[in-house]
Amino acid sequence: MSQPLADAVRSLMDRARTDLAELVAFPSVADPRQFPVEECRKAAQWVADAFAAEGLGNIQLLDTPDGTQSVYGELPGPEGAPTVLLYSHYDVQPPLDENAWLSPAFELTERDGRWYGRGAADCKGNILMHLTALRALRQVYGDGYPVGLKIIVEGSEEQGTGGLERYAEAHPELLAADVIVIGDTGNFAPGLPTVTTSLRGMTAVEASVTTLAGNLHSGAFGGAAPDALQSLVRMLASLHDENGDVAVAGLAADQTWEGVRYPEEQFRADAKVVDGVELTGTGTVADRLWARPSVTVLGIDAPPVVGATSSVQAAAKALISLRVPPGMSSDAAQDALVAHLEAQVPLGARLTIQRQGNGAPFRADTGGPAYEAMGEAMAEAFGTPMVTAGEGGSIPLCNTLRSLYPQAEIVLIGVEEPTTQIHAVNESVDPRELERMALAEALFLRRYAELRSS
């Protein structure tokens, strides 16, 4: 263990908490329908100032095509040193039901040893991981860094609007690096150092069903009048078989995961599955999460229970998400989903499909020096060997970066272990994970420079 770096990181944790509290206080949801755009701009400026204070230059607020801003900065390294790009994002998910939070969503609150607040883990905690690693290196070794550095902190990742992707494609020289560290995942379990090597892609469709010119009285017409909501429910039920496996023709649902295992008992606890309720699908939990497609109904437009009338519904709509594993084309998967829905329409109902955007799946190449250096750094920081895991979520930027920089190694790490409840109410981060991950990143930057120079 590099004790001076470990001591430096520990000494910086009070500052990390203070900074995270300032950053969480910005309700930086990149949707002007929900929060003022000024909140995102203030968060972007905070990030720009924070990295400038750690010696990075050429700090820019990049106006991306989707109307948001990404923060960029750079600092050349010693002669012949490799370049490392550090990525994260400052935009956050909406707070959902703010009354369900045990403490205010945008006020960092310590409770039971954890720090609670929207974005505390995803992804403002990862911004502090990057900052704390850099601060520790400067505290121990002076103002320089062992590698050339670039940082890019996105402003619309949660919205999936692709602003940074389009900007990078238009300015391909900007983010070029030997290694890209994506700070937007996390450890498989608290205290278990993990690199994410697989991401599912994502696509979605909006399915609208119409059966009548208008709603009808369910007493006068029910039993013969075709009900659009009932038709939609039947279509949605056909997406899975009796075991809960995806039943869409053309979507293989029998792939297996070869990395770390995910015990069912641990998953049930992480997911807070209600006692007595069975899990969906067959195969191991890791197979289902990381190697196979999954279909989820994200929302249904239908009358709410409160205020509903005795009516046969003339129209109903659903938003359906499809997660796509590596080795499967997102475009082909979306085509298969659309074909399945079209084939399942009952009673000759009128179906309209609106396709949403596609994000391709990702699988990392783990055979290079960056993975060797990260393995050594994580083992040192955590005192246990690094493992690899998949991630059921999607980060479309990874494939954009791979296409622009095919020789770069892409390494996905972060503070978002399963109990952080990202995207849910009462999101939190474990400061011990933040401390260990910051130390791992600092150790990695030094070890990677040494490997590349040897």
Other Cβ atoms within 10 Å of 390 Cβ, number: 26
**Residue 396: per-residue pLDDT:** 81
Among residues 74, 154, 157, 435, which one is catalytic? 157
H-assigned helices in 222-314: 228-237, 264-271, 285-286
Residue 91 annotated as catalytic: yes
Q: Which amino acid is located at 454 in the chain?
A: S
> Which two tokens mark 259?
């990395």
Q: Give the integer Cα–Cα distance in Å for 51 and 41.
A: 16
Query: Alpha helices of 312-430 — where are they, by DSSP H?
Result: 330-343, 369-382, 397-404
Which secondary structure element, helix H or strand E, spans residue 412, and what is its range? strand 409-413
Q: What does the pLDDT read at residue 393?
A: 78
| pLDDT score at 26 | 98
Note the pLDDT of residue 118: 98
Average pLDDT, consecutive stretches of 10 residues, N- to C-terminus, the chain (454 residues):
92 98 98 96 98 98 97 96 98 95 98 98 98 98 94 94 95 97 96 95 95 98 98 98 96 91 93 95 96 96 95 98 94 97 97 91 94 98 95 86 96 96 96 98 97 88
pLDDT at 299: 95
Query: Of 39, 74, 91, 380, which one is the catalytic site residue?
Result: 91
Please state, in angstroms and rounded to a whole number, the distance separating the CA atoms of residues 316 and 444: 52
Q: Is 241 a catalytic residue?
A: no
pLDDT at 260: 87
pTM for the complete prediction?
A: 0.88
CB 163 within 8 A of CB 396: no
Q: What are phi and psi of 351, to 5 degrees?
A: -115, 130
With tokens 């498989």, the residue in question is 188
